[in-house]
Structure 1
Amino acid sequence: MKLEQYQTAIESSNIISKTDINGIITFVNDEFCKISGYTKEELIGQNHNIVRHPEVPPSTFKQLWQTILQKQTYKSTVKNLAKDGSTFYVNTTVCPILDENGEIEEFIAIRYDVTESVRLSEALITKDEELEELNATLEERVKEQTKALTQLNQTLEERVKEEVEKNREKDRFLFQQARLASMGEMIANIAHQWRQPLSELNITLYKMNKLYQACTNVKEGGFEESYEHAKKIIVKMSETIEDFRNFFSPNRETELFSLSSVAKEAIDIMRGTLERNEVQIRLNIVRDADIQGYFNEFSQVLINLLNNTIDAFSHNKIKSRLIYIEIDTLSAGDAIIKVCDNAGGIDATILDKIFEPYFTTKHASAGTGLGLYMSKMIIKNSMMGTIEAYNHEDGVCFSIKIPVKTVLKEEE
């Protein structure tokens, strides 16, 4: 019973045929009829070569018979011809069936259809041949295009040289215009930066006049102190304009100075303005350092930051006003000076734009939008450092990093 079930399972899933020792078909299953297009009646009694494809060489069948007549199993992928003239491929296993005496009684062939796989393989082979042919012609076409491009490059190089020569004078003119435009920006920035010092000078001179008129009521040294402060502001203004005039000069000489000295200088220049605006300023020197650069330009950067903070105090109507300046030296070899305030901070949506030229939140009469831009240019180009801004607690911090030349003794 089980043998019959096995036989049924094999016959329903494979293409099976049996022949006698001479190759005459004695049995075919339904799958064989289905793939060959013949009926059982048309097949049984016929030689198995009824489905032989004419393109299969005789040597193949010679090898088949030599193998099975030696009582061995033959395996191969065979190309066959169906009744309607179509081709089909089958993976074939032919086994000799022996009788009780060990002699060949018949042959059984078990096959399964691989037509689609073989056709796909043949299609791939065809594509490969087409690609090889394409590559052969492509190489020749590439050579031709390369030759054409080489000729084009030769003529193009000559044309480029001619155009470069024609435009060289124009480039010089445009470069000069760019320099003049940059100079104009700096001069506008200087005018903006001088508003506060000029106001300071005006008030100081007014005080001097009042003290002079009532000199008998002035404590000793008062007049001299005011006079010296006025002179210092005037000198500072003169130095600033000279520094900016030489901004593009390649022969400028740098100087070695400490961060604490430039911070104290900026605070001293702004002393009167800070007092009038009731701004408390704290300078904390953790570890001072000498840096190489331009003292007056760095001083202008700090003055600009102080001026901006004072404007922010007024705009945001801050009552308790504090500016905190800290100087330290980092282990990475940079000196750092932080200028922080409690003026309310900067809107996060514009924080990344404040160093762009002409960007300002102030009224046109109060600022040009060049102060922070010029400050960044000074720190980057003249001091080889970086400047960044970030909101901190109830204000903003500007952090400036400058390469250190010498670490100085920590202040007590």
Structure 2
Amino acid sequence: MLRIWFLVVLLVCFLPAKATVLDKKEFEKLRTEIRDNYAQSPHVAIASLDEQLASDNFTPDQRLVLLNYKAWFQLEAKQFKPAMKTLIIYKNLAEKSSKRALMYGYYNISAGVYIQLNLHKLALEHLSEALKYAALLSDDITNQTLNNIGEVYLALGMLDEAERAFRRYADYLQHSNKPLDNSIVTINLAKTLIAKEQFTEAKSLLSEIMKVKQQHQFDYLLAESYLLMAEIERAEKQYPLALISINQSLAIFTVQDLVKDQHRAQFELAKTYAAMDDTDRATNELTRVTKNIHLDDDLLFTSKVYLFESQLFESTGRYQQAISSYKKHTAAETQLIKQQADINLAKAIAQAETNEKEVKIAELTREKQLKAQKVNAFKDLALSVVISLIIISLGSFFAISNIYRRKQHLANTLQTLEETQTNLIEAQKIASLTVLVSGMAHQLNTPIGTATTAITYIAENLQELEQKFKSKTLSTKDFNRFIENTNEAQHLVLNNITRVVSMIEQFKALNVASSLKKPMQSFELKQFITERLETLKTYFTIHLDYQVKGDEVSLTSNPSIIGDVLKTLVINAYEHGFNGVENPTITVTIKKQRYTITLIFQDNGSGIDDSILKEIFTPFYSTNLGGNHLGLGLNIVFNAVKYQLFGNISAVPCQHGACFIMNLPIDGHLSAKEQINASSIKP
């Protein structure tokens, strides 16, 4: 759980300097009012800050304090796009201040936004920058920032780095009288040890800290400890103990009326019952959770719940319910991706608007400088004629110096314009993607509207029939006409609903691009691929033959992502390549190198035209765009292989059918660390 210390930072370094309207005492009174408003509601505090910031009654440093409050409150209220816009304004103002430590607020709050949106790599980059400025503030803030970085490492699956960060912070707190901070870092360390399956030490830590929490009445943290203890007990198959621990946690959350935390505890109960093969109880607990969560809740948690529910239904043969749950899982992940894209777009637009204002200010400043230079040149010339040639020479020297400075200023202005142009182009790209997504919503609207109209028509006919029946004027002819009209409307409804289902199915491939962050695991690749392809046989109306051959390789990677990539390639071959093909066959060949493996996926279908091989991984590229194909599948496969499996994929010319070649690292952990390290040192 990431703790935000923005108020501490404000108290340490955001002191008003040279207040022109409000003195120090008056500004401290205003800050107290702001905190009181926040105690009522973040929305109340944000509205109050908007009124304050509209005036010019503050020094630049005082304005920075208010902007910092506003961005923090917007983050707490989950107003991510407005928060990012506020942070861009804050950053541009802070860069002009002599207090370098002010930049800590920008990077720290930005990291909080990215963590909420599951963009942990970006969060790590910003926390690394925040750490540089934390050193200018205090040891407490520096070590708290390191602890926050440890939580991001844990989310990214970098368990060794996370453990080092938490132990360092725990050592720092060892001689301090801060039981709350000690409890929090102990919970974080226990989470890391559980992820590393070091259950004995994790149990010991939790047992010790539970005594402290009971002593200081840290009930919420005590409930968190019970959930972690249940996770260990479930892993050790001590299911009765796990159920006791979860119910203790649930009782605390219920007393404190923490609804979302109650959902987390109920989800843990469902997973425990599922591990006990008690699917009925597991299903009941999941139902208690799903009937109260919505897509505007925690999207990552919602996605996890529906994915687990889908897997549970599938394991018990309830395939229709499994498909329904999987669609809800996909909808949650799609909404999360949209939020991630929206926040990057909002940041780009805010930065472009700020840069545009800076350019206008620079142009006005330049015009004033030119006018002043002309006046000075005229005075210098008149004075030089009157006094002497020496003054003329001196005036020439000043004129040349001014021209040089103007040249440098113009060069800087040109560079700023070029950077602004680049930002605007990137913003346009993201806007284009938003338009395409809106187009899909428009396509769905037509069949849904048609089905709604048909249902309304059925209702009107039924009402007319009822009236004639009550008035005893209903004839056989009327009744037959009602049956005919209702049948026609029914067929219209079914046809359009089938069309909607067909279009929605195209989004299933998004599962490849938005996998949950799970620790990697080692597995036998050949055996995994064979089993995964066997499970796909029931998905299709024709019989597909699969051949898996090549080297035996033990791979450390994300098997679920590899399985989804293969599933997408098989579906692509089925839909585009096997029409009219006898004995359709898919062959997967594994070749091992020193540090990588090569995976060759080939079918005997109609193949892909060589002229479009370079285009097929482009988003929304399809030879049948506008039909039931969205052109997203192979782009999702490309991004999954490159950014989540740390490999690459390409389509190559093939005499018979289509051929895709994937290169994947044997040790996914090593490749992940290399990529994280490379991005963290990027200028």
Q: TM-score with structure 1 length normalisation?
A: 0.40
Q: Which of structures 1 and 2 has the larger relative contact order (alpha carbons within 8 angstroms, sep 6+)? A: 1
Structure number, greater radius of gyration = 1
**Which is richer in strand?**
1
Q: TM-score with structure 2 length normalisation?
A: 0.26
